[in-house]
Amino acid sequence: MKFSANLGFLWSDRPLPDAIRAAKAAGFDAVECHWPYAVPAAEVKAALDETGLPMLGLNTSRGNVAGGENGLSALPGRETDARAAIDEALAYASAVGASAVHVMAGFAREAEAHRTFTANLRYACAQAPEGVTLLIEPLNRHDAPGYFLQTTDQALVIIDEIGAPNLKLMFDCYHVGRTEGDIVTRLKDLLPVVGHIQFASVPDRAAPDRGEVNYAFVFDTIRRIGWDNPLGAEYKPGGPTDATLGWMAAYR
């Protein structure tokens, strides 16, 4: 199995270039991040070149975080800000060679939110350069109550409606486990539209060696169905990241 270190959580106490180096030293095959914008893209690119690790993805900006925002693309009336965030993410992805951008929907309950999200996603799909995939990710209702995109069924409707080859699903086993369950069946059913897979223990969002989901079974299923891309370790280490990596040895 190949694994990608999600540097939004792993080694998040270090500057991003150092976190990339730590992921390399720990044996990860790739990295991904959340919101790298405070770090000059050239510094991230230099660390990626130095380590040889690919950057699998980054997120569009959340907007006004202090004001409670968690993404802009489904917010009616905020199209200008949402598209600026998409442009920013695509530019950063191009500068560091990242292969995906997660377009964050945000907290929205208005009737027009679906129409707003699909219009902004169409914009993103049209703007994305060759080799950059757009991802949408349902977040579980416990951690992100009120988030517009909550289930894989809802994401599938959106992906089908837009019908763009560069729009895919971020299948985060943690969120699916918390909201929907039946992780491996959902994953097999959705495989044609899956662009990236992430994981963490359920329900604690810790390393995958605990909790109610048997990740040995999940990872074995993923291997059997032929998914060969690195799986995103997006868990909260709750202390020094290096002390939480014992789970990796079993899959090497």
Check if 137 is active-site. yes
Per-residue binder mask for ligand LCNOYBR7 (CB under 6 A), 74-113, x = binder: ----------------------------x-----------
Mark residue 96 as left, alpha or beta (left: phi above 0; alpha: psi -120 to 50; beta: remaining). alpha
Q: How far is the CB of 172 from ligand LCNOYBR7 (least distance, A)?
A: 5
> Using an 8 Å Cβ cutoff, are 92 and 58 in contact?
yes
- Per this entry, what is the length of the chain? 252
Q: How far is the CB of 34 from ligand LCNOYBR7 (least distance, A)?
A: 6
Nearest Cα neighbor of 97 from 140, 58, 149 is 58
The binder of ligand LCNOYBR7 chosen from 7, 103, 234, 235 (CB under 6 A): 234
Q: Which residues on adjacent β-strands are paired with residue 134?
A: 101, 167
Question: Residue 29 or residue 172: which is nearer to ligand LCNOYBR7 going by CB?
Answer: 172
**Angstrom distance (rounded) from CA 121 to CA 107:** 16
Integer-rounded Cα radius of gyration of the chain: 17
Here the tokens at position 182 are: 């039946």
**Angstrom distance (rounded) from CA 68 to CA 71:** 10
30 binding ligand LCNOYBR7? (CB under 6 A): no
32 binds, among ligand LCNOYBR7, Mg ion, none (CB under 5 to 8 A by kind): none
Q: How far is the CB of 246 from ligand LCNOYBR7 (least distance, A)?
A: 22
Check if 32 is active-site. no
Q: Which of 32, 88, 161, 234 is catalytic?
A: 234
> Which 3 state secondary structure label does DSSP give 187?
helix
Q: How far is the CB of 144 from Mg ion (least distance, A)?
A: 11
34 binding ligand LCNOYBR7? (CB under 6 A): yes
Here the tokens at position 141 are: 């209702």
Residues that bind ligand LCNOYBR7 (CB under 6 A): 34, 59, 102, 137, 139, 172, 175, 198, 234
Active-site annotation, residues: 137, 234
